[in-house]
Structure 1
Amino acid sequence: MNKKTLKVLNRVGFWILICFIFIYMLFPFYWAINSSLKSESQLQMTPATFVPRDPETMSIAPTLKNYIAVIKDGQFTRGLWNSTVVAVSTTVLALLVGSFAAFALGKLRFRGKRASLYIILAMTMFPQVTILSGLYAVINKLGIGAKLSMILSYMIFTLPFTTWVLTSFFKDLPVEIMESAQVDGATPFQTFRKILLPLTAPALVTTGLLSFIAAWNEYLFALTFTSIDPASRTVPVAISLFTGSVSRQEPFGEIMAAAVLVTVPIVVLVLIFQKRIIAGLTAGAVKG
């Protein structure tokens, strides 16, 4: 086998692998869309069809009944609002606190800075379930509301990531900028707020979006903290407890419709900011 044939085979094998990964990753989302467009009778068809089909004529017959039922469901719309409030609040707090911490770790000199960075990195390695029971006991003892509990709890995993990534961006900024600002009489805080922070706007967008996605999709903490306050349930919890519009019904189609409605905005945001997300992850992982 000559080199040219081997090169062609390698290229064909590479693209077969890419197609397999592409189908493997997108098929669950496609199946959710397919199921959300089926009626109850279509969902019970065996074998299952890859497109919504009429059980009798087998013609393609999608329906929007599941989406209409989901949109009219007050539990789902309330969950969307709660998720928006919690995710936006978590993102703003993570960026506010994380940017100050990253500025100190990236540009200021103080004892224990390296140890602080390693501690921040270590905080991202612990699974959430290890602190859930103790955290719930503390929050229940203090009598904190469900929404505020979720916001404070989500900061545990969004703040270390935000600080770690932003620290890398602050380190990359030329030190001459700070020196010039000091010569002009600017205080460290003025230098941070008026000069350095605007320069890190791409990093703020990256970390803010990733923090928002993490808070929007979080389920374990939300399920625990809203167990005694159903009105504060976020949308992942609302979907998991979805009962549908008909009594004693397994609302699979409506659950899939709700999942699609929740996922589409995140997918759109990721596609819009994908380059900045990759840049932020690369900077945080490589330059540390």
Structure 2
Amino acid sequence: MATTDTKTKVGTGVGFVAILVWCLLPIAWIVSLSFKTVDETNAGSAQFLPKDASLDNYKALLGLTDDPVSDAAASDFGQALLNSLVVSLVATVLSVLFATLAAYAIARLEFRGKRLVLSLALAIAMFPVVSLVGPLFDMWRTFGLFNTWPGLIIPYMTFTLPLAIWTLSAFFREIPWEMEQAAQVDGATSWQAFRKVIVPLAAPGVFTAAILTFFFAWNEFVLAISLTSTQKARTVPAQMSYFVGPDPFNPPYGQLATASVIVTVPIIVIVLLFQRKIVAGLTSGAVKG
């Protein structure tokens, strides 16, 4: 029996290590590539670790060097990073704010067509983004929203709001109605009970909705590449598609890897800081009783 348990533990450990290596190897390769010099990447070296580790790629993309960057798209990376940060944060804040109010109404109030509202929200979230690019392109050029921050924030909210509403409505349903009634008996208004009692209790759901919304806006590519034309509003995923290098036969692998590392760091930091709330939000409603 002991031998069987030992074999099971060893097999589980080996499988875990194999899966971990399989998942982390591409990430480790990208990080290693970001520290390689241009000459080393152009030479096509298959060596995993860089021969002479250098921060030149990071300095060039972040504008920390006086040397001009040969690739114009790479020189505009700082502006693209700012665009991504502003667009993602604004879309996240507005989506979570509106979704909180809408989810509370759906969870607490009884009205005709509530199921229809949830069904439409789910349908919108699953709608293919590509099918909206053409109409949005024409509309945004007519309304003067093409190549602007609001021109990206509005369609981002269209797809993030339904997801946030579904996530938050599940949380609000789990909060006992008696707690809100008790707050009102103690003299709190409906708004005060919602703000001081309901929202703090639904904090894991709010964090989960905010993080999922931020992830979508931060990584979105199709709308960003279609609704922008210059670095004025172009976000990082779209900007990276313009990293072409000096010619088509010598792509800037080091700069692409460096940009990938830079845009991944905020995601990793957010996950590490709020991992408990993310798990609580994603597992909410999984057990009933």
Instruction: Give the 3 Å change call, closer, same or farther, for CA 153–286 of structure 1 in structure 2.
Output: farther
SS at match of 1:283: coil
Q: Which amino acid aligns with 1:104?
A: A
Question: Does residue 63 in structure 1 map to residue 54 in structure 2?
Answer: yes
Aligned partner of 2:226 among 210, 224, 227: 224
Aligned equivalents of 2:139, 2:45: Cα separation in 1: 50
**CA–CA distance in 1 between the matches of 2:132 and 2:16?**
39
Q: Which residue of 1 aligns with 2:6?
A: 8
Q: Which residue of 2 aligns with 1:169?
A: 171
> Does the CA-based 8 Å contact 1:124-1:161 persist in structure 2?
yes
**TM-score normalised to structure 1 length:** 0.86
Q: Measure, in 1, the Cα distance between the counterparts of 2:13 and 2:131.
A: 41
C-alpha distance 21-156 of structure 1, shift in aligned 2 (>3 A): farther
Question: Which whole-Å CA distance do the structure 2 matches of 1:156 and 1:21 have between them?
Answer: 36
Task: Determine if contact 1:178/1:191 at 8 Å carries over to the other structure.
Answer: yes
* Preserved CA contact (<8 Å) 2:204 2:278: no
* Counterpart-to-counterpart distance in 2, 1:281 and 1:76: 33
**Where does 1:77-88 land on structure 2 (aligned, <5 Å)?**
77-88=78-89
Q: Does 1:149 align with 2:151?
A: yes
Tell me the secondary structure at the aligned position of residue 127 of structure 2. Answer: coil
SS in 2 for 1:22: helix
Q: Which runs of 5+ in 2 are unaligned?
A: 64-73
Shift of 1:74: 4.2
SS at match of 1:62: coil
Residue pair 2:35, 2:57 contacting (<8 A) in 1 also: yes
CA displacement 1:149-178 (0-9 Å, x = unmatched): 110111122111111111111111111122
Could you say which residue in structure 1 is the equivalent of 2:191? 189
Count of paired positions:
275
Cα pair 1:95 1:204 within 8 Å, conserved:
yes
SS of residue matched to 2:110: coil
Shift of 1:42: 1.8
**Partner SS, residue 126 of structure 1:** coil
Structure 2 match to 1:32? 30
Residues 138, 6 of structure 1: CA spacing in aligned structure 2 closer, same or farther, 3 A cutoff?
farther
Question: Does the aligned pair in 2 maintain the 1:164–1:284 contact within 8 Å?
Answer: no
Counterpart of 1:179?
181
Change (3 A) 1:230 1:69: closer
Identify if the C-alpha distance between structure 1 residues 155 and 46 changes in structure 2 by more than 3 Å, giving closer, same or farther: closer
* Matched-pair contact (CA < 8 Å) for 2:76–2:231: no
Identity fraction in percent: 41
The structural deviation recorded for 1:264 is 1.1
Instruction: Identify if the C-alpha distance between structure 1 residues 13 and 134 changes in structure 2 by more than 3 Å, giving closer, same or farther.
Output: farther
Greater Cα shift, 202-211 or 93-102: 202-211
Corresponding residue for 1:271? 272
Contact 1:219 1:237 survives alignment (8 Å): yes
Amino acid across the alignment from 1:80: L
In structure 2, relative to structure 1, the CA distance for the partners of 1:284 and 1:92 (3 Å cut) is: farther
Name the residue aligned to 1:262.
263
What TM-score, normalized by structure 2, do the two folds share?
0.86
**Change in CA separation of 1:156 and 1:200 when aligned onto 2, cut-off 3 Å:** same
Please name the residue that 1:212 is paired with. 214
Q: 1:14 to 1:118 in 2, by over 3 A?
A: farther
Deviations 1:197-225 (A, max 9, x none): 23322322222122112111111110000
Counterpart of 1:240? 241
Cα–Cα, structure 1 residues 131 and 13, in superposed 2: closer, same or farther, change >3 Å? Answer: farther
Amino acid corresponding to residue 265 of structure 2 in structure 1:
V
Q: How does 1:97-136 map to 2 (within 5 A)?
A: 97-136=98-137
- Unpaired segments ≥5 residues, structure 1: 54-60
Aligned to 1:42: 40
Matched-pair contact (CA < 8 Å) for 1:95–1:162: yes
In the alignment, does 2:54 pair up with 1:52?
no
In structure 2, give the amino acid aligned to 1:96.
Answer: L
CA gap of 1:46–1:194, structure 2 versus 1, over 3 A, is closer
Kept after mapping to 2: 8 A contact 1:165/1:284: no
1:124 counterpart letter in structure 2: A
Partner of 1:232: helix, strand, or coil? coil
Structure-2 residue corresponding to 1:20: 18
1:201 to 188, 200, 203: 203
1:258 positional shift: 1.7
1:165–1:283 Cα contact (<8 Å) kept: no
